[in-house]
Amino acid sequence: MVQTYREYRAELDLISTRFEDVRKSHGPSLAASVWHYSERQIELELQGILNTSGFEYAEVRSLQGQVWKAGVKSSSAVIIEEIPLLFRHDGKEYSLGSLTVMAGQQAIYDLVILHALESLTYFGIWTCFLAGSLFLIFRQLVTRHLSALARYTSSMSFDVSASPFVLDRAASRSGAVDELGQVANAINSMQSQLADSVQMLHESERRFRRLFENAEVSIWNEDFSEVVNSLDALRREGVSDLRGYLDENPNAAAEMAQLVKVVQVNESTLNLFGADDQDKLLHRIDETFGNDATDVFTDELCAIWEGQKVFRSEAAFQALDGREINAIITFQIPETREGFQSIPVSIIDITERKALEEQVRRSQKMEAIGQLTGGIAHDFNNILGIIMGNLDLVRSRAKNDPSVLKFADAAMSGTRRGADITRKLLVFSGRRPGEAEPTVANEAIVRIQEFIAKSLTASINVETHLADDLWPVEIIPGDLEDVILNLSLNARDAMPEGGTLVIETANRVLDETFGSYIPAAEAGDFVMLSVSDNGTGMTAEVKEKIFDPFFSTKETGKGTGLGLSMVYGFVQRSGGHIVVASEPGSGTTFRIFLPRGGDKAIQAAAAPAHKIELPRGQETILVVEDEDFLLDIAVAHLNGLGYETATAINGKDALKILQARQDIDLMFCDVIMPGDLDGYQLASTAHAAYPALRIQLTSGFAKKREEQAGAADSYLAGLTRNLLSKPYSAQELALSIRRALDGG
């Protein structure tokens, strides 16, 4: 009875041990399965518990009320063990529910009776002893280490500083590594490799982010994954020629463009497009695309379709403030589908380069045409010389034949006209002989003033405003007279109903600012000659071509198209610059800047010994200018002088800014602007609404004409008297702004 009782107690302890085994071996894995809601794994675990001797029923109950069962409660007398399910995640322990395991006592009774029978023999007792010993040995040498390994791997860290797994046992004297040691070493090696890989990944991400944020070019991080899905769908539909498909379906490219997601942009992108922050730019991203956006995107789609490695193309963009941007788009086309989820697209601004290329192209074109016309004119001049010589011989031999003399005189008149055209061609090409000499432009104007007046209609009033002490220039005097005459005749044609022609001269000191108007210009002392009319003006398209040889807006037979080409050639030969201001319906002003010459000693003596200190300020100035590069120049100089600036490209936008901001101290405004409000109308409206606002006007047209425009209003007349003429130097801008702010 004592032995039976002991065995009964041993069996109860064994059940407790089994419960403990279930707690340690099945508890963590069941908790993980509940955490991941793996019903299949839970069922397998419960079935594994029932495979343990003595267990007849197992149940998992989650905190949310889900229940998973296995087995049947067949015994009336049972031992119940409830095991909490705990799961560790991110260093925290979560309670997920409980595991209930039932062991029937009837099985214990049967086992005790069996053991009682076996204990009657020596071998039965010895067998029980060996079985218990082996179980304890296996538990000590294997099972507990496996449990420790399971716990370590379930909470494995990817930190390189994490501690490795160490078996809780004495080291082998021989130094040999058994199977458990090999498993432990393998797990430690895996943990180390994973930690190193994660560390390298984090470092690569940090390097990319630094490159992305600090890059000087615009970078857009775009997601093309939906676009690739659409292209795959087209392949499945049997499309083989993508470009042909897009040509037949004009809206397809635009629809796929909507699938592109701009995930992130860098700081250079915000600066290029004039955005305050990323959210503002992404919200208005559609406004930044130029007219060729669909064509460029079509090329991108075809490049992806064809499996190219790199896409590169020129494209037009538009900044949020309306500036046009020419750029090069470039990006590497990923080789995997995952790569399309994040494509860094570079946007390289080439706006300035394109403008310089256009300047060089036009300069080369003018030079080539000049060489061509010069060669033709030279040969034609020789032919005319032969013709004129023979006509002189005919006239000398036909003195007594009036009819022959009449035809000879007519031929001579036509030949002289041809010679005059040839002379103009030679002037344009720079091959006309003659020596430059110190000349005062006022004297040339006075000499031909009467001739100009007779060449114009009676309805045109000619006014001259010649500066006193005008500097001399090194030119051929006759060339200057031709220039003034050509410009005057063009003004006559622009005023068929009459008007006013104004000829002005002035000494101007130009600084590096002037180089922003004309890239090849240099700073220095210049004599300005201005010829202005209040005629029909020119469109931007006409203004682009006025200096091209043989280009004319006049009817056939009423002009050769060489007049302004001669003017351009004269300015180039003289080392000067020419600036044209014209708007349809507002007239035209030609300003010629000729370098000061002929009095080098006086010029050197008069040169200032030190740089003039420009007046500065901290006020806020609203710059209203429709020409992008003039707007940028004014803003750059004013910011450099300490002023805060705001910008507008027309009168309507300027009034909105004035209404929204109360800190505007002065409005610096161009006179000629697009829209319903010109500079005078804007100044009048702004002055009426904000009497304390200071206003400074600027114009590229003749000041005399502006005085006439503002004469009807005393306030506008005062603004006109202080009008700043374009182009202006940084010094002239600084002085006029300071004078306007100070009420001068």
> Distances in Å between the alpha carbon of 366 and those of 114, 354, 361, 605?
119, 18, 9, 38
Judge if 410 and 344 occupy the same domain: no
Q: What is the pLDDT of residue 370?
A: 63
* Whether 587 and 443 share a structural domain: yes
User: For residue 528, which phi and psi values (nearest 5 degrees)?
Assistant: -100, 130
**What number is the average pLDDT over the span 119-140?**
79
Kindly state whether residues 411 and 441 are assigned to the same domain: no
- Out of 606, 630, 656, pick the residue that ends a domain: 606
Bin 531: left if φ > 0, else alpha if -120 < ψ < 50, else beta: beta
- Kindly state whether residue 210 falls inside one of the protein's structural domains: no
Q: Give the CATH number of the domain where residue 675 resides.
A: 3.40.50.2300
Burial 137-158 (b: 16+ CB within 10 A, else e): eeeeeeeebeebbeebeeeeee
- Rounded to the nearest integer, the mean pLDDT of the chain is 80
Distance, CA of 628 to chain centre: 16
Q: What is the CATH number of the domain that holds 518?
A: 3.30.565.10
636/744 Cα distance (integer angstroms):
24
Q: For the segment 481-510, what is each residue's pLDDT rounded down to a tens digit?
A: 888 888 888 888 888 888 889 999 999 887
> Which residues lie closer than 8 Å to 367 by C-beta, 6 or more apart?
none
What does the pLDDT average to over 77-94? 85
662: in domain: yes
Question: What crossing angle do the helices spanning 39-50 and 27-35 adopt, rounded to 10°?
Answer: 160
Residue found under tokens 């049947």: 72
Instruction: Say yes or no: 134 and 17 in one domain.
Output: yes
What CATH number has the domain bearing residue 102? 3.30.450
Task: Scan for tokens 């992108």, then name that residue.
Answer: 269
Whether pLDDT at 381 is above 90: no
User: 137, 154, 171: which is the final residue of a domain?
Assistant: 154
**Rounded-to-10 torsion of CA 22, 23, 24, 27:** 90
According to DSSP, the β-strands at 620-624 and 666-670 are parallel
Residues 482 and 582 in one domain: yes
| Separation of CA 654 from chain center | 25
CA torsion through residues 49, 50, 54, 59, sign: positive
User: How does pLDDT run across 578-616, given as a tens digit for each residue?
Assistant: 888 888 888 899 989 999 986 543 343 344 444 567 899
Query: Which pLDDT does position 557 carry in this prediction?
Result: 42
Identify the bridge partners of residue 84 per DSSP, sorted by sequence position. 98
Domain that holds residue 380: 356-429
The structure tokens listed for 728 are: 């202006």
Q: Do residues 476 and 597 both lie within one domain?
A: yes
Residues 628 and 589 in one domain: no
Closest CA to 211 of 341, 344, 336, 332: 344
In a domain, 544, yes or no: yes
Dihedral angle sign, alpha carbons of residues 619, 620, 625, 627: positive
* Whether residue 398 is found in the same domain as residue 335: no
Q: Please give the angle made by the CA atoms of 213, 219 and 225, to the nearest 5 degrees.
A: 115
Domain finish residue from 606, 628, 651: 606
Q: Is residue 13 part of a domain?
A: yes
Q: Looking at residue 472, what is its pLDDT? A: 93
pLDDT number for residue 421: 63
For residue 7, what are its two tokens? 């065995």
Is residue 683 situated within a structural domain?
Answer: yes
Pairing relationship of beta strands 620-624 and 587-595 according to DSSP bridges: unpaired
Classify residue 193: in a domain, yes or no.
no
Distance, CA of 733 to chain centre = 30
Give the residue-averaged pLDDT of 671-698.
Answer: 89
Q: pLDDT tier at 617 (50, 70, 90 boundaries)?
A: very high
**Would strands 724-725 and 694-699 be described as parallel, antiparallel, or unpaired?**
parallel
Peptide bond into 727 cis (omega under 30): yes
Give the ranges where 477-550 is alpha helix by DSSP (H).
Answer: 477-494, 514-517, 540-545
Task: Give the three-state DSSP class for 669.
Answer: strand
| Percent share of the chain, pLDDT over 90 | 18
Higher pLDDT, 338 or 199: 338
Task: Report the candidate in 732, 486, 500, 723 with the shortest Cα–Cα distance to residue 592.
Answer: 486
Burial of residue 276, with CB atoms counted within 10 A of its CB: 0-12 exposed, 13-18 middle, 19 or more buried:
exposed
Beta strands in 47-194 (DSSP E): 55-62, 67-71, 78-89, 92-104
| CB contact at 8 A, 552 and 466 | no
In this structure, how many other beta carbons lie within 10 angstroms of the beta carbon of residue 354? Answer: 15
Residue 443 lies in a domain: yes
CB atoms within 10 A of CB 56: 18
| 71 and 33 fall within a common domain | yes
One domain, residues 575 and 633 = no
The alpha-helical segments, DSSP class H, found in 120-249 are 122-138, 144-154, 179-214, 225-236, 242-248
pLDDT digits (tens, 9 = 90+) for 321-333: 888 888 999 999 9
Residue 196: inside a domain: no
Categorize the per-residue pLDDT at 665 as very low, low, confident or very high, splitting at 50, 70 and 90.
very high
More confident call, 418 vs 708: 418
Q: At what angle do helices 105-118 and 2-21 cross, to 10 degrees?
A: 130
- Asked whether residue 460 falls in the same domain as residue 487, the answer is yes
DSSP states along 691-719: TT-EEEEEESS-HHHHHHHTTTSHHHHHH
Report pLDDT for 205.
Answer: 66
Count the domains in the chain. 5
Supply the angle between the helices 730-741 and 628-640 in degrees, to the nearest 10. 70
From CA 71, how far away is CA 49, in angstroms rounded? 10
What single letter denotes the amino acid at residue 243?
R
282: domain CATH number is: 3.30.450.20
Highest mean pLDDT among 55-64, 66-75, 305-314, 489-498: 305-314
Digit-coded pLDDT (tens) for 211-220: 666 677 888 8
Q: Averaged over 698-715, what is the pLDDT? A: 63
End-to-end CA distance of the chain: 125
pLDDT at 603: 44
Alpha carbon of 235 to those of 242, 245, 247, 438, 500: distances in Å?
9, 11, 16, 77, 70
Residues 386 and 425 in one domain: yes
- Which span out of 430-434, 519-523, 722-726 was modeled with the highest average pLDDT? 722-726
d(CA 245, CA 233): 13
